[in-house]
Structure 1
Amino acid sequence: MIASLTKAIQFNTEEVNECKKRVKDLETQNEHLRKDNCDLKERVREQERYRMRWCLRIKGIEEEKDEDIRSHVIQLLSKIAPEMNAKMDEAVDIVHRLGSRMDNKNRNVIVLFTQRRVKDEIWRHTKASLICKTEGVRFAKMLPREDLEDRRKLWPQIDQARRAGKLAFFRCPYCFIDGRRIEVDG
């Protein structure tokens, strides 16, 4: 009887040790998968950032039924940067509104440029453009969803620093205050 109990205990001990080894292997594998997943997410986020560097978002363009939004945007951009008028039709690739149509609300417009230098030049022109003020439109850079969330979290710090007279700005996914980089916690 004792011999059979000893044999059963030994068998159970070996099974428990085997299970512990499997659990440890699975934990190691899981940790590698988590790291790979984080790396892949960051690579996708970087790809989104890169792709969005070619785009601008326009807020405030009145929405009309059966509109030719591309022509309307090209005309607006030609007014903002008249010296670039000749190449505007080639530089603007795709223009579309975001989301579904809503009553009494203008949807944002996304502009994808074929040349980043043209997009950057337009972005510089919009900063001090009287056309933007008179037309009631604002231009914004495109950001991935995660970067927008980070920006929302960091913006109070940027705003507070600017009110204190410090140099503060957001550059994906960090904010910089007087040259010091600040990340989102957690």
Structure 2
Amino acid sequence: MLLEEVIPPLPDTPCNSPAGKLRRTDKVDAASISTQLSKLSQLVKNRSDGLEKLIGENKIKDMKEEIGRNTEQISGMTETIEFICSEVKGLKERVNVIDSQTKKVEIVSTEQEKRLAHLEAYTRRWNLRIHGIPEKERENVHQEVIDVCQRLLPQFKDKFPDVVDVAHRLGRPNPQNKGRGIIFQFTSRFYRDAVWRAAKDAEFLFVNRLKKTEDLSPADKARRIKLWPAVEKARKENKQAFFVGGHAFVDGTEIFPQA
């Protein structure tokens, strides 16, 4: 129907018979021929415009439909992206909150570890260890420790049964190792420190191959290992160097591990 509307119909066939052939002698009407050619040219032009218009409209329609579908898809993708962005933003906020809480927990945990290490080191300061006492069946470890303390400080002989609180062997029983050390605790730091000082140069311990040591925490042991080279060097230089728990002193001044 569109082609019929756009392309005009051809002119009706004339009823009269066509004119006879012009003879050489007939005169040609140039104006008439020019008019006919002009009409034919206009007719071709109109038909061409109609076809171009028809094809253009169809293509534009298809393009509009395609653009509409693409617009819907883009709109759907935009909504999806906005939803994902919103979720990501929410997750970032939660991660930030959790990260902040984690840092706080780490700080609290570090402080608690320091306090526990300090408390453990402080508690161990009431203890001493002795090595070299042979193990016996049905032995009284508590009395063995009291006897050693009485030999070191005879002037406090009557005090040690009361100030030596508990004593026991270190580690599990082992038939191949019958020389496990003994750890014992005092009820008084005064007597503990007095025994420790007396044990440093005690001939009794040397003769009986006994050795007293402090009861150090793992942290204090690690600290001593780091400080030992400096203490050893100071002693070779005839300086007064010693340990107190996990701390080291040279000529009365505390030294610290190198970073």
Structure 1 length as normaliser, TM-score?
0.90
Deviation of 1:156 (Å): 2.3
Query: What is the rounded CA distance, in whole Å, between the counterparts of 2:221 and 2:89 in structure 1?
Result: 48
**Can you list the C-alpha shifts for 1:21-80, whole angstroms capped at 9, x where unaligned?**
111111111111111111111111111111111111111112222211111111111111
Alignment-derived partner of residue 116 in structure 1: 189
Q: State the structure with more CA Rg.
A: 2
Q: Tell me which amino acid in the other structure corresponds to 1:93.
A: D
Alignment-derived partner of residue 93 in structure 1: 165
Contact 2:132 2:210 in 1 (8 A): yes
Q: Which runs of 4+ in 1 moved over 4 A?
A: none
- SS of residue matched to 1:160: helix
Query: What is the rounded CA distance, in whole Å, between the counterparts of 2:241 and 2:178 in structure 1?
Result: 32
Alignment-derived partner of residue 183 in structure 1: 257
- Percent of counterpart pairs with the same letter? 31
Contact 1:93 1:113 in 2 (8 A): yes
Structure 1 unmatched runs, 5+: none
Q: Which moved more, 1:110-119 or 1:146-155?
A: 146-155
Structure number with higher strand proportion: 1
**Can you list the C-alpha shifts for 1:161-182, whole angstroms capped at 9, x where unaligned?**
3223344333444434452531
Residue 52, structure 1, aligned to residue 124, structure 2? yes
Q: Which of 137, 145, 150 is equivalent to 2:218? A: 145
CA 1:90 to 1:172, structure 2 compared with 1: closer, same or farther past 3 Å?
closer
Query: What is the rounded CA distance, in whole Å, between the counterparts of 1:173 and 1:33 in structure 2?
Result: 27
Number of positions where the alignment pairs a residue of Structure 1 with one of Structure 2: 185
Over the aligned positions, Cα root-mean-square deviation in angstroms equals 1.8
Structure 2 length as normaliser, TM-score?
0.66
